[in-house]
């Protein structure tokens, strides 16, 4: 998985490409944790993401909990296959999908 980071003042956009699974989820968690300081908006761009497994959901949940304390988090460009995973697991109610 590739993670493209774009920081604009207190907004960080993470564009993910590939698969967010057991192997790649820890990388994403590291990037999120390393950038949290001073962050008020965290945007995930899923345009090039192929799929998310539960390991990826765990990272998204933890990021959402952290951003609830200091700003907002949004997920954009979610494809139908990933949307189904978010719906089944109730994550579509937890996350802000734009």
Binding site for other proteins (CB under 8 A): 19, 21-23, 50-55, 57-58, 61, 64-65, 68, 80-81, 84-85, 88-90, 93-94
Residue 43 or residue 57: which is nearer to other proteins going by CB? 57
Cβ proximity to other proteins, 31 vs 51, nearer residue: 51
Q: Tell the smallest beta-carbon distance from residue 89 to other proteins (Å).
A: 6
Min separation Cβ 37 and other proteins, Å = 21
Q: Which residues pair with 24 in a beta bridge?
A: none
């Amino acid at each position: 998985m590739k993670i493209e980071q774009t920081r604009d003042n207190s907004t960080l956009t993470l564009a993910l490409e590939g698969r967010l699974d057991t192997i790649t989820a820890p990388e994403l968690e590291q990037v999120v944790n390393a950038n949290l300081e001073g962050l008020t908006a965290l945007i995930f761009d899923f345009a090039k993401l192929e799929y998310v497994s539960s390991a990826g959901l765990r990272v998204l949940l933890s990021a959402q909990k952290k951003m609830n304390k200091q700003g907002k988090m949004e997920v954009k460009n979610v494809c139908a296959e990933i949307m189904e995973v978010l719906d089944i697991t109730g994550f579509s109610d937890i996350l802000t999908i734009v």
